[in-house]
Amino acid sequence: MNLGTKYAPEKDVIDGQTPPPYLSGMKKHFLFLLALMICRATAADQLLVLSGGGSPLTNHYSQYLQTKTLFNDLNARFPHMKPSVLFGAGNRTGSELVLADTHRLVKNGELSFHELKPGIIDGNVPATLANLNAYFTQPSLKQMSGQETMFLFVSDHGMPFVLPNGQVARAFDNNCIEMWNFRADLRSGTVAEGPSSQRCLSKERLRGLLTTQVSAGRVVFAMTQCFSGGFHMMSVTAKNNYPSANPRICGFTAVPEDTIASGCTPDVDGPGYQGYERSFTEHLTGVDVVTGHRLRPARISLQDAHREATLEDVTKDIPLATSDFYLWKWALAIAKNSFVPRTSVLKVHQVRALIEQALIGQRQSESRGYKNKERFFTSAQKALDLYPEYRAIFAGPLSEHVKLEGQLDAEVAEAEQTLGVYTPTLQVSQSALLNEWHKAVAAGLTRANAVEKAIENKVYGGTDADTLVLLSMSVQSVTVPPTARILSDYQGKRESYALEYAKRNLRKDLRDLALAIEDLKVTTAQMEERYTELMKKHGHVRRLLIYRQVLGAYNALEKMDDKVALKELEGLLECEMAELK
């Protein structure tokens, strides 16, 4: 619209009269405001929903349900944003299926059946690094104004960055979102993992894309993957040994940078499908992820969805906003021997005392931001009051809370080490049993029917046979679904067949092996249950510890009158209030 040409003052006429100069000026001002309003009305925020999943075996059905629920809801409510979705292999409504790219586990009594299903979403694009890079080259992202927001939702796997020497980066400062990294040819039936370099969307790479390719005034993310907290470091860094934040980038995560998250599972009907990742999606969309039924009205605030999901979650997750992460890093910085306050208001020991005395539910500051966090953390503490034996510690000195967290961390590590012995033993025993079953079927010593014999002879017997069968199903579920169903059925029953065969065998070693496997399965299940409970307890204790440190750091920054930090914090708090509109 060329306002200067179309509405030139000398051509404006009111009742056949040329308007006086002051009216022409007023009209130009009005038209300028009108043009600005039109631009703002037609300009739109940007919205991306992302979930790579890696491969058909690791791209769990829960990830698909969350991604589909998020995208469908956001696309229906905010079509003017033209939301984009990158999920798995890129199956989309109305197009030829690419591959069965989601892994679902279905239980029938004591048996479990693996299914590979296409994750179909309207307008979907394969979640590869190449496609993500292409998304960020869109001119519309560069043309965004400072008044607009880019929203990014990630329901995916996360992992630490792997260094060139093959070692995991234990600093957790460049964590990855797992992208789709799989190749398949439906015609030939060949399947293969792509290059490992295309698997990781690192924090540094994503920050680079958001910084150089997106001109929006704010970028707000919600991430539910393991190690998701590392992506707060797109905003929070260290500057001259003090935490520093870029208030342009903020968001919400399921866990800190060094922690795995709950709820990512192929078994969406089991008790394991719970945690922040499911709760966040259901509170933002108002829809039950599994059934699709309406639970409550949808929300426009990511912050509200984060808070409600945090209050609802009773798993090991430790949900954090970027402002929490920033304050937590301040608490850790203050605890270091090298810390020196940037102001002269308080001595070091006075600042540390403010952290040590931090409590949830006992207001230590009257600022609005502090009171909001303290009120929220108090509610979270009540919702997570699962271990009354720790109440005295939660209400005592922070140092005792730190000590308890360390003890539980050691117990978790010990339980994990024990599982690390028993689980491989069970797997080796099961492999030996199934190898005996395979030989017995080939020799005609079992009651396997013709179809089962054909499957056994054709696809089993080599190393990683179960994996190869599942990968084969990822193609056959699209090309020949009946064959895939037969394979799924047989794989689900194969071990039970082998156990029954071994227990009735004349060979004592086979009978002993079958009994040993059954005992190992019971023992391993008990150990896994104990490990899960310890993880949950540790997560609960650590969550409340971090929340105390957040409040302590907030109070300390205010009492120190650290204007630089308080201004950055204020910017993060404002960024986190962004709403979908």
Q: Are residues 35 and 59 in the same domain?
A: no
Residue 21 binned pLDDT confidence (cut-offs 50, 70, 90): very low
Q: State the average pLDDT for the chain.
A: 90
Domain assignment present for 580: no
Report CA-CA distances (Å) from 424 to 311, 418, 525: 37, 11, 13
Distance CA 381, CA 311 (A): 8
- Give the residue ranges of DSSP H helices in 214-360: 276-285, 302-312, 322-334, 348-356
The confidence score (pLDDT) of residue 447 equals 87
Measured over the CA atoms of residue 356, residue 360, residue 362 and residue 363, the dihedral's sign is positive
* Residue 581, in any domain of the structure: no
Distance CA(378)–CA(382), nearest Å, equals 6
**pLDDT value for 6:** 26
Residue 101 shares a structural domain with residue 211? yes
pLDDT at 99 over 80: yes
Check whether 133 has a pLDDT greater than 50. yes
pLDDT per position as a tens digit, 202-231: 999 999 999 999 999 999 999 999 999 999
pLDDT at 13 over 90: no
Cβ distance 264 to 317 under 8 Å? no
In a domain, residue 160? The reply is yes
| Alpha-carbon torsion angle 263, 50, 206, 129, nearest 10 | 110
Return the DSSP state at 171: T
Partners of 202 in beta bridges: 176
* pLDDT confidence of residue 108: 87
Q: Which domain holds residue 38?
A: 3-42
19: left (phi over 0), alpha (psi -120 to 50) or beta: beta
459-497 pLDDT tens trace: 887 667 888 888 889 999 999 999 999 999 999 999 999
Contact 170, 21 (CB under 8 A): no
Tell me: do 417 and 316 sit in the same domain: no
Three-state SS for 228?
helix
* Alpha-carbon gap, residue 53 to 88, rounded angstroms: 6
Question: For residue 571, how many other CB atoms are within 10 A of its CB?
Answer: 18
**What single-letter amino acid sits at 108?**
N
Judged against a pLDDT cut of 60, whether residue 41 lies above it is answered with no
Strand partners, 191: 184
Flag whether pLDDT at 18 surpasses 60.
Answer: no
Amino acid letter, 369: G
Alpha-carbon distance 283 to 272, whole Å? Answer: 19
How many helices (H) does the chain have, and how many strands (E)?
Answer: 18, 15
pLDDT-derived band at 30, boundaries 50, 70, 90: very low
Same domain for 196 and 315, yes or no, is: yes
Same domain, 134 and 275: yes
- Element spanning 546, H or E: helix 508-560
Please give the distance of CA 277 from its chain centroid, rounded to a whole number: 6
Structure tokens that stand for 386 in this block: 């699962």
Residues 179 and 131 in one domain: yes
Say yes or no to pLDDT of 2 above 60.
no
Whether residue 121 is found in the same domain as residue 151: yes
Q: Are the CB atoms for 223 and 206 separated by under 8 Å?
A: no
Say yes or no to pLDDT of 408 above 50: yes
pLDDT at 20 over 50: no
According to DSSP, the β-strands at 84-87 and 46-51 are parallel
Instruction: Tell me how many domains the chain contains.
Output: 3
Query: Given a cut of 50, is residue 288 above it in pLDDT?
Result: yes
141: nearest Cα among 152, 153, 151, 150: 150
**Is residue 38 very low, low, confident or very high in pLDDT (cuts 50, 70, 90)?**
very low
Banded model confidence at residue 549, pLDDT cuts 50, 70, 90 = very high
Query: Does residue 566 carry a pLDDT above 50?
Result: yes
Task: Identify the CA nearest to 452 among candidates 501, 405, 403, 404.
Answer: 501
Rounded CA separation 548/543 (Å): 9
Q: Is the pLDDT of residue 32 over 60?
A: no
The pLDDT value given to residue 149? 97
Strands 200-202 and 190-193, by their bridges, are: unpaired
The angle formed by the CA atoms of residues 403, 407 and 411, to the nearest 5 degrees, is 165
What is the structure's pLDDT at 56?
Answer: 95
Directed axis angle between helix 348-356 and helix 398-442, to 10°?
Answer: 60
DSSP symbol at 301: B
**pLDDT at residue number 441:** 95
Whether 184 is covered by a domain: the verdict is yes
Per-residue model confidence as pLDDT tens digits over 550-559:
999 999 999 9
Residue 336 has pLDDT above 60, yes or no: yes
Query: Residues 234-247: pLDDT tens digits?
Result: 999 999 999 999 99
Over pLDDT 90: what percentage of the chain? 83
* In a shared domain, residues 56 and 200: yes
**CATH code of 221's domain:** 3.40.50
Per-residue pLDDT tens over the stretch 356-389:
999 999 989 999 999 999 999 999 998 888 899 9
Distance (Å, whole) CA 539 – CA 565: 28
Q: How far is CA 12 from CA 1, 8, 27, 38, in A?
A: 17, 7, 10, 21
Are 173 and 230 contacting, i.e. CB atoms less than 8 angstroms apart? yes
Cα–Cα distance, 339 to 32 (Å, whole number):
52
Specify the residue for token string 């394969």: 126
Q: Are residues 10 and 51 in the same domain?
A: no
Strands (E), 204-360: 218-223, 236-239, 242-245, 249-253, 320-321
Residues 430 and 502 in one domain: yes
pTM for this prediction: 0.90
Q: Which residues pair with 60 in a beta bridge?
A: 103
First-to-last alpha carbon distance for the chain, in angstroms, is 25
More confidently predicted of 328 and 448 = 328
pLDDT tens string 136-186: 999 999 999 999 999 999 999 999 999 888 888 889 999 999 999 998 888
| Residue whose token pair is 């329901």 | 155
Instruction: Please give the pLDDT value at position 536.
Output: 96
Confidence (pLDDT) at 384: 85
Residue 105 CA to residue 60 CA, distance in Å, equals 9
Residues 35 and 177 placed together within one structural domain of the fold: no
Q: Evaluate whether 363 touches 371 at the Cβ level (below 8 Å).
A: yes
For residues 431-445, give the mean pLDDT: 94
Q: Is the dihedral of CA 335, 339, 341, 342 positive or negative?
A: negative
pLDDT at 437 over 90: yes
577: left (phi over 0), alpha (psi -120 to 50) or beta: alpha
Closest CA to 57 of 96, 91, 105, 112: 105
Torsion of CA 136, 142, 144, 148, to 10 degrees: 50
Q: Give the model confidence (pLDDT) of 496-546 as tens digits.
A: 999 999 999 999 999 999 999 999 999 999 999 999 999 999 999 999 999
Quickly state the pLDDT bin for 341 (edges 50, 70, 90). very high
Do 359 and 329 have their domain in common?
no
